[in-house]
Structure 1
């Protein structure tokens, strides 16, 4: 009888221990800004020079509703600080174990 319960489809769902990536892409249309830093809601920050225009990608493990970023010029002066609202797109919304998600691209203008 125990074998029937195990092989009868009653076993609990077991998800692999995978850390899903949640990324935010921010594009800055102001050529004065050479560095963009996440102050709240995200971490990291990688400028992707291969995309058109200044483009940064941040990790946001908690999928926040918004993040705060600051932009700096070549002299290191802060020239932009903005709260950015995010819309998340889940890569595989039907996956019971979760899925990676992305937000953006969000464009910041001067």
Structure 2
């Protein structure tokens, strides 16, 4: 009986440890689908879209004007579980970026420039 109990405990321990292993996504990159880098669009509601990355719990998307290095304003800084988000933008120069995260790791940001006419 003790051997069976020990066996069950060992199996339970091994299976419960599986949840502790989270894939390291730091070397992965989020691929931007739209708007692509250096896109020129008309003002209005802009939909930002990127490819889903496996083993990801959320995405952080940020939009700045004119860019992040010389930001006059951060227009959006949001976490989402989806791979799309929309934002009204008026005429100007913008930069947007997105990164993926899971419980332990994050990718670096993928960044694109955008002009709104």
TM-score bracket, shorter-length normalisation: 0.3 to 0.5
Higher helix share: 2
Give the number of the structure whose alpha-carbon radius of gyration is greater: 2
What's the TM-score, normalizing by structure 2? Answer: 0.36
What's the TM-score, normalizing by structure 1? Answer: 0.37
